[in-house]
Amino acid sequence: MTRYEQLAQQLREQIRTGVWQEGDKLPSLRETVRRSGLSLMTVLSAYQLLESQGWVRSRPQSGYFVAPAREATRYSFPQQPLQPAETVDINAFIFSVLQAGNNPDCVALGSAFPDPSLFPQHQLSRALIRVARQMHADVTGVTLPPGCADLRRSIAQRYAARGMEISPDEIVITSGALEALNLSLQALTQPGDWVVVESPAFYGALQAIERHHLKAVAVATDPQQGMDLDALAQALQQYPVKACWLMSHCQNPLGGTMPNANKQRLLALLAEHQISLIEDDVYGELYAGLTPPRPAKAWDTQGRVLHCGSFSKTLATGFRIGWVAAGQQAEAIQRLQLMSTLSTSAPMQLALADYLSSHRYDKHLHTLRRTLEQRKHIFYRAIQREFPASIRVYYAEGSYFLWLELPPHCCATRLYRRALKAGITIAPGRMFAAGEQYRHCFRLNASLPWNARSEAAIKQLAALIAEQLALR
Amino acid sequence: MTRYEQLAQQLREQIRTGVWQEGDKLPSLRETVRRSGLSLMTVLSAYQLLESQGWVRSRPQSGYFVAPAREATRYSFPQQPLQPAETVDINAFIFSVLQAGNNPDCVALGSAFPDPSLFPQHQLSRALIRVARQMHADVTGVTLPPGCADLRRSIAQRYAARGMEISPDEIVITSGALEALNLSLQALTQPGDWVVVESPAFYGALQAIERHHLKAVAVATDPQQGMDLDALAQALQQYPVKACWLMSHCQNPLGGTMPNANKQRLLALLAEHQISLIEDDVYGELYAGLTPPRPAKAWDTQGRVLHCGSFSKTLATGFRIGWVAAGQQAEAIQRLQLMSTLSTSAPMQLALADYLSSHRYDKHLHTLRRTLEQRKHIFYRAIQREFPASIRVYYAEGSYFLWLELPPHCCATRLYRRALKAGITIAPGRMFAAGEQYRHCFRLNASLPWNARSEAAIKQLAALIAEQLALR
């Protein structure tokens, strides 16, 4: 990252955390030059970048001021009541949405995956070719659960780089994080048990709960603070909860990241009730804020956190390789995997181990984070420009999702159907809860390249939204 | 297959089906030459092959006679009572056996996989390299459920070659047959439901039943006739069964194949009770008898059979690619897969599609069947030579398993533990049922190459068995 980008990021973080609030005048260019020791050109570039991203406005002869908060950095959800749901039944709807998203003729603003052209295709191909050339007949034995030892060691090294001591022995390689999450849930629960999930939540959590005949308590989740811990404490008092499932970083669909202090309080709360945490962290490596986040797992002293990660969102969508650092449950997870899919494919495990040994992953991630951040800014600006002013949009550091809220009378599911006919997918809020409370919301994928096609899609979407608004 | 091998196979089939019984004199060489039009050398070679395999004995000046049935071709299990099991709890035991089998220093007579050196490693590597070279970024979209269209078409073509009309649209690509079987079970049942399984059964069926909180009725299964259909009819009267799970060909662990007439009666019975069949057919392609078998699915007119296949036992163990031809349940299976593993790895699907398009699979299968048959004969003869005479052994056409029965007072689990210490694995009968009725039985993998190591293992095993027999 260049110096001016670093400075811009610092200032964004300060605006996010309220050091500078709407209307505040930022320190003058001259003053910042003096304090920071940076050149005037560098400081000016940083301020211009912030302006282009909509964070600040310049006033001639006066300086730079924090832009009004129509942008949703300070947007916070109303406190929600607990949402117990004896049965969860949204699979059919989600399936139809996912199926629709497979159509390559659609502009995939509803997709959960980053634009795959951002992945290091060539390097992965070469890793796969090296593996294919050396592949011996008896490759399966080394990749059965818990999975390829070299790959597990590489993953453990990445934890170590974040200051976490995770033994390769507690890591199990899985078919993407989705299998890791599902096996974790199975290891911790029996049919009929209660599980805490976020509201709104990744639909995979709701599907897993339906599939395994569990009951869900959805606890309100704020894009800046993460899960409401007071509401969680109340839920744990009221329901015999067996597990808690949440995303600590770049939450899907909101995009927000839970502050470290909250992670610590969360763990204390769960420990008090002897409840395990399924920490879905598939987007953590994409966090673009200043300080790389530490998973809740970092404060887990009892082996109660099952930390699920993946390469699908950062490196290779189609390889289907994820993992869980499963603590106490490592053996249980292996047993469950042996009887459900046996193992993940051997060449894929070996190819990823080969790629990671080249030490190019961090460099790739660095570039990927920057590109995603840039693209998201462009989408965000376009949305501010094109969409009706009554639409709220939440922008979070490090996620490639934007979460949008229509006025309450509007139905994003209807918008989804209309958009689909126009060749555009969105992810309607209905997917992210058992109830109807997000039916006026939707999630946009802002990782696509900005070109005539995506620009036309945003304009078309704006027109469809205007149509919905008029439907009162 | 050479002419003399064909003739030997015909004669074996005739002995198996009782055309020639123990002590019968086979037609003389001269007579067979006259009837068949084959040369005397060819006919003599066939008779000598049968003698070397223990099927016939020559008496000087008299001719060839069917050997006594110490070999188990006519061996049949005693009728067993129905075995309802409210809960199934053998996972822990099976996990420990599978874990032990991963040790490469052991002679893997307990393995469920054929010797991987029999697979066309080089051709698969080349297919994988071709795929890696052409891999484009957006490969995932084409391999999401139901899976790669070319691969599904190739599988449909293989069905067509067996006279079965299966649309590519009802085929779903899965992580090995194991995922196909598990998803099939989930599509058909809810926790608490009853499922019919074989006795003895593939342990994966028992594990799936435990994992999904189902109840099992185990119906006696005969190596020659397959599942006892009278007992099945009785079970369907007595229990509110939701699904029936069986292996129609080269059953694991017995090795036997259900006659076509029985398959038809089976389907009629299930149709009468409106029950779906999960047909586990991972070994069908290895059947070495004269007529290639047709799955029960071939007589399914109502889309009630979920036919599960795999490339893991015939082509590429570590790729983890299987499928289910799911009839009515095709969409339900896709929905379940999307929420449990999302999909199988894209490069693996594409590499298999590439390999199958080369039309080398049938040639490979032909060679594989012959080699497996030869190796099994060698193991079978060695067992007859080395093992105590009180051991019964069942030999089936087309399976690479041998099923052995110790006298009832012996415990094969104890034998397993003793053998493990000596660096040899076996698959104890305890793995194949919820109860204890096969504790004196075990399964041997006869696909290993016959060399000093495997010969020593068989001799060592013989000594350990003698020790067990003496333990009265």
Do B398 and B460 belong together in one domain?
Answer: yes
Specify the pLDDT at position B290: 67
CB contact under 8 A, B346 and A318: yes
Chain A residues with CB inside 8 Å of B139's CB?
A: 116, 317-318
Residue A149, classified by CB atoms within 10 Å of its CB into exposed (0-12), middle (13-18) or buried (19+), is: middle
For chain B positions 371-430, those within 8 Å of chain A (CB to CB) are none
Cβ of B138 within 8 Å of Cβ of A104? The answer is yes
Nearest to B218, CA basis, from B245, B258, B186:
B245
Please name which of B339, B321, B313, B333 lies closest in space to residue B148, comparing C-alpha atoms: B321
- B282: number of CA atoms within 13 Å, CB side? 28
Contact present, B194 and B237 (Cβ < 8 Å): no
Mean pLDDT of chain A: 88
B98, closest residue in chain A (CA to CA): A338
Among the candidates B14, B35, B69, a domain finishes at B69
For the segment A215-222, the average pLDDT, to the nearest whole number, is 90
pLDDT of residue A384: 87
Q: What are the start-end ranges of the H helices in A250-393?
A: 260-272, 330-340, 346-357, 361-386
Is pLDDT above 70 for A137?
Answer: no
Residues B101 and B148 in one domain: no
Q: Residue A427: pLDDT band by 50, 70, 90 thresholds?
A: very high
Q: Using one digit for the tens of pLDDT, what is the confidence trace for B391-445?
A: 988 888 778 999 999 999 999 999 999 999 999 999 999 899 888 889 999 999 9
Please state at what angle helix B176-188 crosses helix A330-340, rounded to 10 degrees.
90
Q: Are residues A296 and A375 in the same domain?
A: no
CATH number of residue A440's parent domain: 3.90.1150.10
Report if residue A458 sits inside a domain.
yes
Is the pLDDT score of A72 beyond 50? no
Q: B91-115: per-residue pLDDT in tens? A: 677 777 777 767 788 899 998 889 9
How would you class A89 by CB atoms within 10 Å of its CB: exposed for 0-12, middle for 13-18, buried for 19 or more? exposed
Q: B 308-337 residues with CB below 8 A of A?
A: 317-321, 334-336
pLDDT at B14: 79
By C-alpha distance, the chain A residue nearest B144 is A102
Residues B367 and B355 reside in one and the same domain: no
Task: Report the percent of chain A where pLDDT is more than 70.
Answer: 92
C-alpha B275/C-alpha B267 separation (Å) is 9
What mean pLDDT comes out for the span A241-259?
94
B122 touches A at CB < 8 Å: no
> Which pLDDT band holds residue A148 (cuts at 50, 70, 90)?
very high
Q: Which of these three, B331, B359, B387, is where a domain ends?
A: B359
Average pLDDT over residues A206-230: 89
Contact B116 A95 (CB under 8 A): no
Percent of chain B with pLDDT over 70: 92
255-294 in chain B: CB under 8 A from chain A: none
Among residues A302, A227, A292, A313, the alpha carbon closest in space to that of A272 is found at A302
In a domain, A74, yes or no: no
Residues A439 and A207: beta-carbon distance below 8 Å: no
Model pLDDT for residues A88-110, shown as the tens digit of each residue: 456 677 777 777 767 788 899 99
For A339-394, what is each residue's pLDDT tens digit? 899 999 999 999 999 999 988 999 999 899 989 988 998 998 899 889 998 898 88
Could you tell me if residue B461 is inside a domain?
Answer: yes
Q: Looking at B383-429, which runs of residues are DSSP E strands? A: 392-394, 401-405, 424-425, 427-428
Residue A79 lies in a domain: no
The yes-or-no verdict on residue A397 having pLDDT over 80 is no
A207 Cβ neighbours under 8 A, 6+ residues apart? A88, A90, A91, A94, B339
Question: For position B144, what pLDDT does the model report?
Answer: 87
Facing A344 at nearest CB: one of B143, B320, B338 = B320
B348/A347 touch (CB, cutoff 8 Å), yes or no: yes
Q: In angstroms, how far apart are the furthest CA atoms of chain B?
A: 74
A309 touches A323 (CB < 8 A): yes
Residue holding tokens 């605006």?
A15
Mean pLDDT for chain B overall: 88
List of chain A residues whose C-beta atoms are within 8 Å of the C-beta of residue B211: 186, 336, 339-340
Buried b (16+ CB within 10 A) or exposed e, A259-291: ebebbebbbebbbeeebbbbbbbbbbbbbbbee
Q: Do B179 and A213 touch (CB under 8 A)?
A: no
Q: A170-179, B367-376, B386-395: which has the highest mean pLDDT?
A: A170-179
Nearest CB partner across the interface for B340, out of A126, A182, A319: A182
CATH code, A39: 1.10.10.10
H/E run at residue B57: strand B56-59
Per-residue pLDDT reduced to its tens digit, B266-307: 999 999 999 999 999 999 999 877 677 899 999 999 999 999
Q: Label residues B337-353 b or e (16+ Cβ within 10 Å = b).
A: bbbbbbbbbbbbbbbbb
Do residues B348 and B371 share a domain?
no
Residue A191 and residue A96 in one domain? no
Do B354 and B442 fall into the same domain? no
Of B359, B385, B404, the position where a domain reaches its end is B359
pLDDT in tens, A281-328: 999 999 877 677 899 999 999 999 999 999 999 998 889 999 999 999
Residue B463 domain boundaries: 89-116+363-469
Mapping DSSP to helix (H, G, I), strand (E, B) and coil, where does residue B452 land? helix
The domain tally of chain A equals: 3
Query: Are residue A442 and residue A400 in the same domain, yes or no?
Result: yes
Stretch B356-379: mean pLDDT, rounded? 90
And the tokens for A4? 């001016």
Contacts of residue B34, defined as CB under 8 A and 6 or more positions apart, other chains included, come to: none
Q: How confident is the model at residue A70 (pLDDT cuts 50, 70, 90)?
A: very low
Predicted confidence at residue A79, as pLDDT, reads 43
The yes-or-no verdict on residue B345 having pLDDT over 50 is yes
Cβ neighbours of residue B394 closer than 8 Å, sequence gap 6 or more: B72, B73, B75, B223, B254, B255, B256, B402, B403, B404, B405
- Residues B163 and B64 placed together within one structural domain of the fold: no
Which helix (H) or strand (E) segment is B468 a member of? helix B452-469
Look at the alpha carbons of A213, A217, A221, A226 in this order and tell me if their dihedral is positive or negative: negative
Residues A218 and A249 reside in one and the same domain: yes
Helix axes B330-340, B176-188, angle to 10 degrees: 110
Q: How far is CA B150 from CA A15, B91, B139, B329, B357, in A?
A: 52, 37, 13, 21, 9
Lowest mean pLDDT across A95-104, A126-135, A419-428:
A95-104
* Alpha-carbon span B147 to B453, nearest angstrom: 42
Same domain, A51 and A97: no
- For residue A77, being part of any structural domain is answered with no
Give the model's pLDDT for residue A42: 87
- Least CB–CB distance from B318: residue in A95, A128, A345: A345
Q: Which residues in chain B are contacts of A132 at CB distance < 8 A?
A: 125-126, 128-129, 132
CA distance A85 to A83: 6
Taking residues B140-165, report their average pLDDT: 87
Q: Is residue A8 part of a domain?
A: yes
Q: Tell me, yes or no, whether B418 lies in a domain.
A: yes
The pair of structure tokens assigned to A66 is 């924090």
Range in A324-338, B134-148, B217-231, B368-382 with the lowest mean pLDDT: B134-148
B137, B339, B341 member nearest A341 (Cβ): B341
* Torsions phi, psi for A421 (to 5 deg): -60, -30
User: Tokens for B186?
Assistant: 């989930």
Residues in chain B closer than 8 A to A341 (CB atoms)? 175-176, 178-179, 182, 320, 341
pLDDT tens digits for range B183-201: 999 999 999 899 999 999 9
Q: Which of residues 123-182 of B touch A (CB under 8 A)?
A: 124-126, 128-129, 131-133, 135-141, 143-144, 175-176, 178-179, 182
Residue A99 to residues A106, A445, B146, Cα–Cα distance (Å): 12, 17, 10
Burial label, B214 (beta-carbon count in 10 A; 0-12, 13-18, 19+)? buried
Give the up-direction half-sphere exposure of residue A57: CA atoms within 13 A in the CB hemisphere: 8
Mean pLDDT in residue range B374-388: 90
Nearest-angstrom CA–CA distance, A320 and A297 = 23
- The minimal CB distance from A140 to the residues B143, B318, B334 is found for B318
Q: What's CA A132's distance to the chain center, in Å?
A: 33
Query: For position A93, what pLDDT does the model report?
Result: 73
Q: Which residue has the higher pLDDT, B17 or A424?
A: A424
User: Which band of pLDDT confidence, cut at 50, 70 and 90, is reported for residue B141?
Assistant: low
pLDDT in the model for residue A75? 36
Asked if residue B75 belongs to a domain, the reply is: no
Q: Please check whether residue B118 is in contact with residue B372, taking contact to mean a CB–CB distance below 8 angstroms.
A: yes
CA distance B393 to B389: 10
Nearest-by-Cβ selection for B129 from A132, A138, A344? A132
The CATH number for B253's domain is 3.40.640.10
Return the beta strands (E) in A188-346 as ranges: 194-199, 215-222, 226-227, 241-246, 276-280, 305-310, 322-325
What does the pLDDT read at residue A143? Answer: 81
Asked whether residue B317 falls in the same domain as residue B172, the answer is yes
- Write phi, then psi, for A308 (nearest 5 degrees): -105, 125
- What pLDDT sits at residue B12? 84
- Top-confidence residue, B88 or B60: B60
